């Protein structure tokens, strides 16, 4: 929508106040190139910051900023989740690229078999194209319980309720699901809209 409205190309840039920008897209939009003279980026296994993720695996972004000379940030945990790709890019730049920057660690849910489930995947299957769901929030309270708040449209029916249960079960396996219909879901104090997150098992 932005591209069409402004009739221009747009580029995704990823960064943090503490580290300046960390990676950005090139003209091929095949991931975000990491400028190796500015940042050293490692991807660690989720909730195991000292264990490197295997190549291509989604994990926690850990950054050493080479651009902050007075206040060094060394192996700084951003609590964001992404994967890294070392394959050649058609643009000719040789730097690794960040891919699938999907959200924060606490936005990832845990399936009943112990696997990580991205917030994007579960959101799409739950609500994409479903006009009966005006807004929602999924909160995993324990390893085997999820609470789902739904802001329903007037035509919300039992069929939608069954769809919600099926979508969550598909991703998380056999887990207790509590659905509550409410009129409004408030935003976070920061103004952000958090739709999917986990409140247990957070790494320190
Ligand atoms: Zn490129």
pTM for the whole structure:
0.70
Rounded to the nearest angstrom, the distance between the alpha carbon of 124 and the centre of ligand 1 is 28
Rounded to the nearest angstrom, the distance between the alpha carbon of 87 and the centre of ligand 1 is 10
Mean of pLDDT values over 175-198: 87
Return residues with CB closer than 5 A to ligand 1 (ion). 26, 28, 89, 91, 93
Rounded to the nearest angstrom, the distance between the alpha carbon of 84 and the centre of ligand 1 is 13
Strand partners, 28: none
Rounded to the nearest angstrom, the distance between the alpha carbon of 13 and the centre of ligand 1 is 13
Rounded to the nearest angstrom, the distance between the alpha carbon of 19 and the centre of ligand 1 is 22
CA dist 188 to 57, 61, 158, Å? 30, 23, 29
Strands (E), the chain: 13-16, 20-25, 32-33, 39-45, 48-52, 59-65, 73-85, 97-104, 109-110, 116-117, 133-142, 145-152, 176-181, 196-198
Q: Domains plus CATH for the chain? A: 2-105 (no CATH), 109-198 (3.30.300.30)
Q: At residue 62, does pLDDT exceed 90?
A: yes
Interval 63-77: pLDDT, tens: 999 888 888 889 999
Rounded to the nearest angstrom, the distance between the alpha carbon of 138 and the centre of ligand 1 is 36
Interval 153-162: pLDDT, tens: 999 999 999 9
Rounded to the nearest angstrom, the distance between the alpha carbon of 93 and the centre of ligand 1 is 6
Mean of pLDDT values over 134-148: 93
Specify the pLDDT at position 204.
45
Q: How far apart are CA 38 and CA 136, in angstroms?
A: 39
Interval 85-124: pLDDT, tens: 999 999 999 999 999 787 788 888 999 998 889 888 898 8
Rounded to the nearest angstrom, the distance between the alpha carbon of 20 and the centre of ligand 1 is 20
Rounded to the nearest angstrom, the distance between the alpha carbon of 12 and the centre of ligand 1 is 12
The token pair at 186 is: 């408030």
Rounded to the nearest angstrom, the distance between the alpha carbon of 90 and the centre of ligand 1 is 6
| Between 47 and 142, residue with greater pLDDT | 142
Rounded to the nearest angstrom, the distance between the alpha carbon of 98 and the centre of ligand 1 is 11
């Amino acid at each position: 929508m932005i591209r069409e409205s402004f009739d221009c190309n747009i580029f995704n840039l990823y960064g943090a106040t503490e580290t300046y920008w960390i990676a950005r897209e090139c003209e091929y939009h095949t991931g975000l190139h990491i400028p190796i003279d500015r940042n050293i980026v490692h991807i660690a296994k989720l909730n195991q910051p000292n264990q490197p993720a295997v190549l291509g695996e989604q994990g926690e972004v850990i950054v050493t900023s080479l651009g902050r000379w007075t206040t060094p940030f060394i192996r700084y945990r951003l609590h964001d989740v992404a994967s890294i790709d070392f394959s050649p890019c058609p643009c000719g730049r040789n730097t690794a690229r960040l891919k699938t920057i999907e959200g924060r660690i606490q936005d990832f849910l845990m399936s009943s078999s112990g696997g990580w489930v991205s917030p994007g995947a579960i959101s799409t299957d739950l609500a994409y194209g479903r006009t009966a769901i005006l807004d929602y929030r999924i909160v995993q309270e324990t390893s085997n319980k999820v609470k789902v708040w739904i802001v329903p449209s007037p035509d919300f029916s039992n069929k939608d309720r069954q769809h919600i249960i099926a979508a969550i079960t598909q991703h998380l396996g056999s887990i207790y699901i509590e659905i509550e219909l409410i009129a409004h879901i408030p935003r976070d104090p920061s103004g952000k809209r958090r739709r999917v997150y986990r409140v247990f098992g957070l790494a320190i």
